[in-house]
């Protein structure tokens, strides 16, 4: 559970978060960990090491090559049809070796798949995973210039990965009424519009200073999703007096267990500030819990 997430942090003058962002020189394991809350405990590693492939030293003659120097061979054909994009979040199992056959990382050994966005890992992963479909297992030879480029403390030289693309994590689809509130939406004097999607099970509503735990996704009115705790698989927790005015007002209309769609006009959102989502914003919000009334 995150204390504050990106879009909600934007409403603050100063924002601190306990969730570091992934950077492109991370290993897949580090990128996966960057998606987890700070107090998440990593699974215990199994006391085994997977043997290196026979062709770990260099790609075989029949390997598929790209202009960047990436080489790969399909080990198991996939069952899906779609390929991930350069920013898509994926779930994978993988094992990595240096060309001398030394294993340096393995989600298989840990017994838990890794999940991360493809723009949060090394360039060879960003490119290589886009060649794959769900269910596919592929061996990828990543030259050093697409890996860690000799950075201290990172695996050196060409790296070899066996990767299984378990799933492409698809973001929540934009609502059909994302462009504007429907006629039956509830409206307040401030211009906020909302509609109950799922009735709540609680009775009390949060106050303007309450701490709440929510799941949410946010879109601009053209249907572009800019933030989603649902996609990350982690709820968000924050005080209502530290977010944009539309959230402060909108959440006070809700009870625990309720899911509501909010159409927040720009004057209750980011007011045209550079680098912030522009115009009216649309959020699907589930009030999981009022943590502190």
Q: Which residues are catalytic?
A: 94, 104-105, 122, 148, 161
Would you give the DSSP letter of residue 184? T
Burial class (CB in 10 A: 0-12, 13-18, 19+), 231: middle
CA distance 156 to 149: 7
Query: Which of the 8 DSSP states describes residue 56?
Result: T
> Smallest Cα–Cα separation from 115: which of 173, 149, 165?
165
CB 216 within 8 A of CB 228: yes
Return the ∠ at Cα 134 (arms to 132 and 140), rounded to 5°: 35
Distance CA 32, CA 8 (A): 22
Nearest CA to 73 out of 56, 86, 85 is that of 56
Residues paired with 140 in a beta bridge: 72, 161
The pair of three-digit structure tokens given for residue 262, joined into one six-digit string:
């909010």
Q: Closest Cα to residue 178, out of 215, 236, 225?
A: 225
110 φ/ψ angles, rounded to the nearest 5 degrees: -70, -20
Cβ within 8 Å of residue 76, ≥6 positions away: 135, 136, 137, 164
Q: Give 214's strand partners.
A: 236, 287
């Amino acid at each position: 559970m995150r204390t504050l997430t990106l879009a909600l942090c934007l409403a603050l003058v100063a924002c601190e978060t306990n969730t570091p962002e992934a950077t492109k020189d991370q290993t897949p394991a580090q990128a996966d960990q960057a998606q987890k809350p700070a107090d998440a405990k990593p699974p215990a590693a199994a006391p085994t090491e997977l043997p290196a492939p026979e062709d770990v030293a260099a790609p075989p003659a029949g390997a598929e090559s790209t202009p960047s120097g990436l080489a790969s061979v399909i080990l198991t054909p996939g069952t899906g049809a779609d390929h991930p994009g350069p920013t898509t979040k994926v779930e994978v199992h993988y094992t990595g070796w240096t060309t001398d056959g030394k294993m340096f990382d393995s989600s298989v050994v840990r017994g838990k798949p890794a999940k991360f966005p493809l723009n949060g890992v090394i360039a060879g992963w960003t490119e290589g995973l886009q060649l794959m479909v769900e269910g596919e297992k592929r061996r990828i030879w990543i030259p050093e210039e697409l890996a860690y480029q000799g950075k201290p403390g990172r695996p050196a030289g060409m790296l070899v990965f066996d990767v299984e693309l378990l799933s492409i994590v698809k973001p929540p689809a934009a609502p059909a009424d994302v462009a504007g509130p429907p006629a039956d939406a509830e409206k307040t004097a401030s211009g906020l519009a909302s509609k109950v999607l799922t009735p709540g099970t609680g009775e009390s509503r949060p106050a303007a200073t309450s701490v709440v735990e929510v799941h949410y996704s946010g879109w601009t009115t053209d249907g572009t999703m800019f933030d989603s705790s649902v996609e990350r698989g982690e709820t968000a927790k924050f005080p209502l007096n530290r977010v944009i005015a539309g959230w402060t007002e909108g959440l006070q209309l809700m009870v625990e267990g309720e899911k509501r769609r909010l159409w927040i006009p720009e004057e209750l959102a980011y007011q045209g500030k550079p680098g912030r989502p522009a115009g009216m914003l649309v959020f699907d919000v589930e009030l999981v819990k009022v943590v502190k009334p």
